Amino acid sequence: MLTVKVLGSGCPNCKKLEAVTRKVVADLGLQAEIVKVTDYAEIMKYPILSTPGLVVNEQVVSAGRIPSEAEIAGWLKN
């Protein structure tokens, strides 16, 4: 099962990334645990300079932007 983390303080972009990620997981029918990480100290454990961030199985795949559904799908399928 995939573990997907959305890193961010809860800003509108962070919420949008979480919503898009949940949609892609549902569309693909994947088994995935989606975790929202809002604690600043926890976010700083990852090598990102700006939020929102997306982490798949502890690998940072995106930071500072909202990737497209196609990009997210590609990361989740690998």
- What residues are annotated to the active site? 11, 14
Q: Tell which residue, 26, 74, 31, 29, has the closest CA to residue 54.
A: 74
With residue 6 as reference, give the H or E element that holds it: strand 2-7
DSSP class of 35: E
